[in-house]
């Protein structure tokens, strides 16, 4: 019996040694130490032994059991440690790998340009105002010296909602609204950025919806030279100190005299190129001295007050400043276009 137990021990320890997984180890435990295992079997035969032999074999059997159990436990610990080691190895982080970039948003190019222009005029003492995009015929046209039937209404094909209500075709109605709102008729110095709408067919330079920034300065003794000074400063700050401006006679029903302002072409420095159509100049905005009728309708006495107004298109300014060749880029939201203008 002794030999039998020793043989079983040897056999079991061999199997424990060979086991490579926890599952195999468990199988060894069940096979040798389980109720139906060979050691239990041996012990069952103890009845046939003599009194003297019984405790010796019993002790040996317990020792063999204990040895096998200890071997299984220590093997289990080493398999578990190896598995943990393997898992840690697989999960190690390679800190030298490049990080995944987190995409960040940024202001739209048009928003940036409008804010830049706002800051520039705020620096010259203008305040920023707003007006409604859905406008009355009165403010969009009549209060700007464009009575019903006036041929210049055709200059701007409009989206009418009713006969008296339309989508504003320019930001100029905010001139009349601002002056009207001044109960005490004090001087006005404001700019107004906003969306405007026209019945245009969209192409590279036209859009049925675009942006304008209106400017209005009404006070005593406001002169054309003030207009020129403000616009010159604007042009130089926006496009560079070396830019020159020129004012060409033009026509708007709400200003008299009316002008269009050009800046010297920054691509060719006034020499003439394809951007400025060989003229050396690029048209930027419309402006003029506020028409006495407009002042009067808004309750300002044109004998006491005078003023200037201007209107510009930020899309056009952004296109010139950044060489954007199609106005539709501003509205089609192609992230590849927009991303180029995100400042960090
Ligand atoms: N409202 C004019 C336009 O839409 C621009 C303008 C504004 C001209 C103010 C003169 C004065 O074209």
CA distance 162 to 331: 27
Predicted local confidence at residue 289, as pLDDT: 98
Q: What is the pLDDT of residues 76-88, one digit of tens each?
A: 888 889 888 888 8
More confident residue, 244 or 267: 244
For residue 221, give the 3-state DSSP assignment.
coil
**Measured in angstroms, how far is the CA atom of residue 215 from the centroid of ligand 1?**
9
Are 174 and 140 a contacting pair, CB within 8 Å?
no
CA distance 10 to 15: 9
Predicted local confidence at residue 285, as pLDDT: 97
Are 37 and 64 a contacting pair, CB within 8 Å?
no
The reply to whether ligand 1 has any atom less than 6 angstroms from the CB of 313 is no
Q: Where are the domains of the chain?
A: 2-90, 109-341
The reply to whether ligand 1 has any atom less than 6 angstroms from the CB of 286 is yes
Predicted local confidence at residue 225, as pLDDT: 98
Give per-residue burial for 160-181: e unless 16+ CB within 10 Å, then b.
eeeeeebbbbbbbbbbbbbbee
Predicted local confidence at residue 2, as pLDDT: 80
Q: Mean pLDDT, to the nearest integer, of 258-286?
A: 92
pLDDT above 90 covers a percentage of the chain that reads 58
Residue 208: pLDDT band by 50, 70, 90 thresholds? very high
**Measured in angstroms, how far is the CA atom of residue 251 from the centroid of ligand 1?**
9
Q: Is the pLDDT of residue 270 over 90?
A: no
Predicted local confidence at residue 197, as pLDDT: 97
On the 0-12 / 13-18 / 19+ scale of CB atoms within 10 A, 152 is: middle
**Measured in angstroms, how far is the CA atom of residue 145 from the centroid of ligand 1?**
12
The reply to whether ligand 1 has any atom less than 6 angstroms from the CB of 141 is no
Predicted local confidence at residue 71, as pLDDT: 86
**Mean pLDDT highest for which of 49-63, 99-113, 280-294?**
280-294
Domain 109-341 sits in CATH 3.30.930.10: yes
Q: Is the pLDDT of residue 344 over 70?
A: no
Predicted local confidence at residue 156, as pLDDT: 65
Q: What is the pLDDT of residues 91-145, one digit of tens each?
A: 888 889 998 988 888 999 999 999 999 999 999 999 999 999 999 999 999 999 9
More confident residue, 151 or 248: 248
Residues β-bridged to residue 194: 212
More confident residue, 71 or 292: 292
For ligand 1, what atom is nearest to the CA of residue 311?
7
The reply to whether ligand 1 has any atom less than 6 angstroms from the CB of 288 is yes
Residue 279: pLDDT band by 50, 70, 90 thresholds? very high
Q: What is the pLDDT of residues 324-343, one digit of tens each?
A: 989 999 999 999 999 998 86
The reply to whether ligand 1 has any atom less than 6 angstroms from the CB of 252 is yes
Residues 6+ apart with CB under 8 A from 304: 220
- Sheet strands (E) in 121-162: 127-128, 134-136
Report CA torsion sign: 270, 273, 279, 282.
negative
For ligand 1, what atom is nearest to the CA of residue 312?
5
Half-sphere exposure of 258 (CA within 13 A, CB side): 11
Determine if the peptide bond prior to 257 is cis (ω within 30°). yes
Q: Average per-residue pLDDT in the chain? A: 91
* Helices marked H in the chain: 2-18, 22-33, 38-44, 53-90, 109-122, 137-140, 173-181, 224-239, 292-297, 314-322, 335-339
Which DSSP letter does residue 285 get? E
DSSP letters along 176-218, please? HHHHHH-TT---EEEEEEEEEE------SS--SEEEEEEEEEE
3-state secondary structure 233-280: HHHHHHHCCCCCEEEEEEEECCEEEEEEEEEECCCCCCCCCCCCCCCC
Q: Which residue has the tokens 């200059």?
A: 155
**Measured in angstroms, how far is the CA atom of residue 260 from the centroid of ligand 1?**
9
**Measured in angstroms, how far is the CA atom of residue 271 from the centroid of ligand 1?**
28
For ligand 1, what atom is nearest to the CA of residue 216?
9
CA dihedral of residues 75, 76, 82, 84 (deg, nearest 10): -160
The token duo for 146 is: 């464009």
By C-alpha distance, which of 265, 247, 267 is closest to 257?
A: 247
By C-alpha distance, which of 132, 211, 209 is closest to 173?
A: 132
**Measured in angstroms, how far is the CA atom of residue 287 from the centroid of ligand 1?**
6
Q: Mean pLDDT, to the nearest integer, of 10-25?
A: 87
Residue 155: pLDDT band by 50, 70, 90 thresholds? low
- Pairing between β-strand 306-312 and β-strand 245-252 as defined by DSSP bridges: unpaired
The reply to whether ligand 1 has any atom less than 6 angstroms from the CB of 280 is no
Q: Is the pLDDT of residue 54 over 90?
A: no
The reply to whether ligand 1 has any atom less than 6 angstroms from the CB of 211 is no
Q: What is the pLDDT of residues 221-231, one digit of tens each?
A: 999 999 999 99
CA distances from 10 to 5, 58, 239 (A): 9, 18, 94
CA distance 88 to 56: 48
Predicted local confidence at residue 175, as pLDDT: 98
Q: Which of 172, 188, 222, 294 to mutate to test the pocket of ligand 1 (most atoms within 8 A of CB)?
A: 172
């Amino acid at each position: 019996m002794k030999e039998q137990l020793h043989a079983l021990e040897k056999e079991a320890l061999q199997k424990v040694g060979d086991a490579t997984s926890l599952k195999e180890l468990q199988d060894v435990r069940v096979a040798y130490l389980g109720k139906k295992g060979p050691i239990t079997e041996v012990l069952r035969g103890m009845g046939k032994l003599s009194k003297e032999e019984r405790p010796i074999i019993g002790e040996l059997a317990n020792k063999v059991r204990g040895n096998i159990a200890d071997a299984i436990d220590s093997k289990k610990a080493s398999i578990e440690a190896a598995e943990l080691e393997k898992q840690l190895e697989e999960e190690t982080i390679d800190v030298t790998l490049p990080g995944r970039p987190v995409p960040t948003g940024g202001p739209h190019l048009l928003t940036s340009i409008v804010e830049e222009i706002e800051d520039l005029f705020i620096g010259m003492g203008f305040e920023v105002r707003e007006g409604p995009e859905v406008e009355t015929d009165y403010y969009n046209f009549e209060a700007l010296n464009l009575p019903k039937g006036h041929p210049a209404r055709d200059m701007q094909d409009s989206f009418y909602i009713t006969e008296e209500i339309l989508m504003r075709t320019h930001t100029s109605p905010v001139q009349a609204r601002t002056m009207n709102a001044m109960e005490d008729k004090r001087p006005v110095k404001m700019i107004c950025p906003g969306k405007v709408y026209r019945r245009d067919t969209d192409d590279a330079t036209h859009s049925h919806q675009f942006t304008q920034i209106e400017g209005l300065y009404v006070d005593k003794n406001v002169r054309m030279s003030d207009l020129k000074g403000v616009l010159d400063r604007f042009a130089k700050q926006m496009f560079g100190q070396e830019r020159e401006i020129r004012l060409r006679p033009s026509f708007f029903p709400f200003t008299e005299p009316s002008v269009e302002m050009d800046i010297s072409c920054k691509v060719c420095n006034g020499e003439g190129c394809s951007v400025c159509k060989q003229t050396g100049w690029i048209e930027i905005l419309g402006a003029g001295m506020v028409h006495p009728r407009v002042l009067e309708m808004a309750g300002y006495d044109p004998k006491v007050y005078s003023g200037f107004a201007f209107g510009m298109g930020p899309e056009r300014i952004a296109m010139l400043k950044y060489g954007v060749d199609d106005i539709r880029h501003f509205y089609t939201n192609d992230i590849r276009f927009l991303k180029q203008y995100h400042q960090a």
